[in-house]
Amino acid sequence: MSLLTIHHKTEYRYDRPVAFGEHRIMLRPNDGHDMRVLSHQLEVEPNPASLRWIHDVFDNSVAIATFDRRASRLSVTSTATVAQMPAEAFALTPDDQAYFYPFPYDDEELPDLLQFVRPQYGDAEGELSAWARNFLDREGPTPTFDILSGMTHGIKGSFRYRKRHEHGTQHPLDTLQTGSGTCRDFALLMIEALRRLGIAARFVSGYLFVPGDRESGYVGGGSTHAWVQVYLPSAGWIEFDPTNGIVGSRDLIRVAVARDPHQAIPLHGTYLGPADAFLGMDVGISVVSVGEETGVQG
């Protein structure tokens, strides 16, 4: 078990007082048997007129803030301490129905998985489907783990990580054709490729813990991170991080799961005022082991 503290502060700056619309805040880590939230504090300045918590359609914790005063600065600070208990690497035996691909989903589970099996993005020329089939064994049935591990490490080894300043996540075909993208882009590429093979996959947003010795070689630290969950009969939802080649939940701090990346935006809101009033946004994130004095800063 490891204890980690995540500190995430976002500040928006304006050249004059503006009014704020509703803001949705998705920063609280997601409790589960492999991770327990020991404490969480959310601070918003200026003080919101109301701050209420809901569970969204995927059971993620979302804080909704509304405001009744103008200000030239809006800051949102989330501080959480979690106990992480990564599950051991899953192992399927040849007797498990998902050991080899293709495999069937149980009739009782399939209706709930369909939204994660259906592709969400176009592939008119079949490029994405063809790329996904490259991970299949042409000689016979392919062990499912080989597909998932091969795709995870294939993206890490063949694609170039680059930060983009544009909002949103790029189309999977853009990621495939350019061979580059962010962690969110890589996650979406893998999700859509797996869906074209009939494998249920969903998007995960959270944080990446980079060990203090910095020898892990991870990229994407110091900011929010994104990866993939895949559902396998007998194994359940399993994490895969194609940006860093991680299989399992080690060093991954889950905040939200979703069918599509736009449903798992950490902080989203509007302001009412001139477009040129916005001066900029500053984001600072650290993920550290409890007791450490320094961490990854963004």
Could you write out the DSSP letters of every residue in 203-271?
EEEEEE---TT--S---STTSEEEEEEEEETTTEEEEEETTTTEESSTTEEEEEEESSGGG--SEEEEE
Of residues 249 and 63, more confidence is placed in 63
Band (pLDDT 50/70/90 cuts) for residue 215 is: low
Q: Report the distance separating Cα 46 and Cα 75, nearest Å.
A: 7
Percent of the chain with pLDDT over 90: 83
Per-residue pLDDT at 36: 96
Structure letter (DSSP) for residue 108? T
Residue 169 has pLDDT above 90, yes or no: yes
Percent of the chain with pLDDT over 70: 95
Average pLDDT over residues 174-180: 97
Per-residue pLDDT at 212: 62
Band (pLDDT 50/70/90 cuts) for residue 216 is: low
Lowest-confidence segment of 11-20, 26-35, 89-98, 273-282 by average pLDDT: 89-98
In a domain, 25, yes or no: yes
Same domain, 65 and 182: no
In a domain, 297, yes or no: no
Q: Report the distance separating Cα 182 and Cα 155, nearest Å.
A: 11
Average pLDDT over residues 129-148: 94
Same domain, 153 and 215: yes
Residues in the chain: 298
Average pLDDT over residues 32-41: 95
Residue 63 has pLDDT above 70, yes or no: yes
Residue 127 has pLDDT above 90, yes or no: yes
Residue 298 has pLDDT above 80, yes or no: no
Average pLDDT over residues 269-295: 87
Count: domains in the chain: 2
What sign has the CA pseudo-torsion 196, 200, 205, 206?
negative
Q: What is the CATH number for 181?
A: 3.10.620.30
* DSSP secondary structure letters along 109-164: THHHHHHHHS--S--TTSHHHHHHHTTS-TTS-EEHHHHHHHHHHHHHHHSEE---
Same domain, 258 and 272: no
Per-residue pLDDT at 101: 96
Residue 151 has pLDDT above 50, yes or no: yes
Query: Under a CB-based contact definition with an 8 Å cutoff, are residues 296 and 222 in contact?
Result: yes
| Count of C-beta atoms within a 10 Å radius of residue 105 | 20
In a domain, 42, yes or no: yes
Q: Report the distance separating Cα 97 and Cα 38, nearest Å.
A: 37
Q: Report the distance separating Cα 236 and Cα 90, nearest Å.
A: 10
Q: Report the distance separating Cα 115 and Cα 109, nearest Å.
A: 12
117: domain range? 100-263
Q: What is the CATH number for 21?
A: 2.60.40.2250
Same domain, 172 and 258: yes
Residue 159 has pLDDT above 60, yes or no: yes
Query: Under a CB-based contact definition with an 8 Å cutoff, are residues 78 and 286 in contact?
Result: no
Band (pLDDT 50/70/90 cuts) for residue 276 is: very high
Per-residue pLDDT at 260: 98
Same domain, 162 and 271: no
Same domain, 133 and 251: yes
In a domain, 295, yes or no: no
Residue 294 C-beta-side C-alpha neighbours within 13 Å = 3
Q: Which run of H or E residues covers position 183?
A: helix 183-195
126 Cβ contact partners less than 8 Å away, ≥ 6 residues apart: none
Per-residue pLDDT at 69: 96
Same domain, 119 and 180: yes
Same domain, 170 and 240: yes
Band (pLDDT 50/70/90 cuts) for residue 292 is: low
Per-residue pLDDT at 139: 84
Nearest alpha-carbon partner for 205 in 133, 146, 264 = 264
Q: Report the distance separating Cα 273 and Cα 262, nearest Å.
A: 25
Residue 297 has pLDDT above 60, yes or no: no
Average pLDDT over residues 65-77: 98
- Reported as a single tens digit per residue, the pLDDT across 183-199 is 999 999 999 999 999 99
Query: Under a CB-based contact definition with an 8 Å cutoff, are residues 48 and 85 in contact?
Result: no
In a domain, 227, yes or no: yes
Same domain, 56 and 139: no
pLDDT, the chain, mean: 93
Per-residue pLDDT at 296: 40
Which residue type does 30 have? N
